[in-house]
Amino acid sequence: RTFAGSIFLSQPAAHSIPCMMCCGPLAALALASLAAAAGAAPAPELAALLEEVARLHREAEALRQENALLRSQDAALRSQDAALRRDDFDLRRENALLRRGGAAPRHGRLLLADGERRRHTGAVQAQAETARARSEPPETTEQGGHSLPFSLPHFHAPIHALYCLVLCPFACLVAAFLWHIQNPKDSEGKPLHGWTAFQAKLRLIRPFAALVLFGAVEHILLHLPGLIESVASQALNDLGQYLFEAAAVMALALLIYKQAARFEHAFAELTAKEIRKLEQRFHETTAQLRQKLHLDAMGEALHNGVETVHHGVEAVRHAMWDGVQNLEGLLEEGQDSSEELLAKQRPLQPPPTRCSCGAGIRRQAATAGHVCEVM
């Protein structure tokens, strides 16, 4: 019972026509076979349910026949409308030919045909509205009152179908993705928190929110039947499409501009930071080079000083050696002069003679005898 009630009794009759036409006899047959297999008489609820199913099936059949009749009437009205359009085109062409040839137009025939065409067009529109009112179920409010003064917006234009199926969810997804990955920071590079971060994220997704809101409001305003005439509705619909496309392009351009400005600012900060690092490294390298050059100059000066001292020591050593040689020469000269002086001061002695003993030189002495000096 719950299964049958959920299928056939929870929906209105107008919305259950395909379900009743396909599943109604099968469900009734299944319930009847279950009751026969159980070997018991059908319960009152089951009998009532079977009667309800049969009634709904009959109503569905009657609605199907009425729908077929309305379709045939609509086809006939469309053919009549096409014939009237052809007559109107012929009359307009004839009128144009008459005006171009200089002859006076046949006002009576044209006015009569125009009046008949307008009366027939009004009758066709009235019949079409009556058929549409019969075919469509009445719309009721939530409190169960009468039908609404206007139908709900229906998405039949391609641009709005594209908006509802592709662009609006895509814009929402892109906005959600940007909201998730956005990490706003202040001028010093510290992340923001609280209300300031929320405002920064809102400023980021503002173009997408404006695009979604514009599309929704524009669609609702342009698809309220009875609000404006059909020709004006078509013109405004085209204008709305152009405005919507322009708003989409402007929103995307604004987003691209903001992202480009953001990336440019980040790139400028990164470039300035790298330039500061390079300047600091350059100064450090320059200071190291200056210190190294200073140390090299000091080493070179010390080396020059050592070489100068070495040359001075060599010069002193040579001077001392020259002085020693000069002193030796002076000493030799003094010794020679002293020997000469001593030789001048000794008395003259006879030249020595060879001693007869052969052991030395015999010298004459003042006393008797002789002295033998060994050579």
Contact by Cβ (8 Å): 355, 372? yes
Output phi, psi for 13, to 5 deg: -65, -40
Band the pLDDT of 159: cuts 50, 70, 90: low
Residue of 228, 87, 240 whose CA lies nearest to 150: 228
pLDDT of residue 155: 40
Residue of 110, 208, 109, 117 whose CA lies nearest to 167: 208
Chain segment 281-325, per-residue pLDDT in tens: 888 988 888 888 888 888 888 888 888 888 888 888 888 888 888
Band the pLDDT of 256: cuts 50, 70, 90: confident
Band the pLDDT of 7: cuts 50, 70, 90: very low
3-class DSSP state of 238: helix
Contact by Cβ (8 Å): 213, 199? no
Question: Which of 102-106, 142-146, 184-188, 231-235 is modeled with the greatest confidence?
Answer: 184-188
Top pLDDT among 190 and 26 is at 190
Encoding tokens for residue 157? 């234009």
Residue 41 to residue 46: CA distance in whole angstroms: 10
Using the Cα atoms of residue 110, residue 112, residue 118 and residue 121 in order, give the sign of their dihedral: negative
pLDDT of residue 325: 84
pLDDT of residue 17: 41
For 167-187, give one letter per residue: b (16+ CB within 10 A) or e: bbeebeeebeeeeeeeeeeee
Domain extents for the chain? 2-135, 158-286
> CA torsion 333→334→336→338, rounded to 10°?
160
Contact by Cβ (8 Å): 160, 152? no
Using the Cα atoms of residue 43, residue 44, residue 49 and residue 52 in order, give the sign of their dihedral: positive
Question: Which of 93-102, 205-214, 317-326, 335-344 is modeled with the greatest confidence?
Answer: 317-326
Band the pLDDT of 147: cuts 50, 70, 90: very low
CB atoms within 10 A of CB 32: 13
CB atoms within 10 A of CB 70: 16
DSSP H helices, the chain, are: 2-4, 17-38, 44-101, 107-135, 158-162, 168-181, 195-222, 230-345
Band the pLDDT of 336: cuts 50, 70, 90: confident
Average pLDDT over residues 91-100: 77
Chain segment 55-94, per-residue pLDDT in tens: 888 888 899 888 888 888 888 888 888 888 888 888 887 7
Using the Cα atoms of residue 198, residue 201, residue 206 and residue 208 in order, give the sign of their dihedral: negative
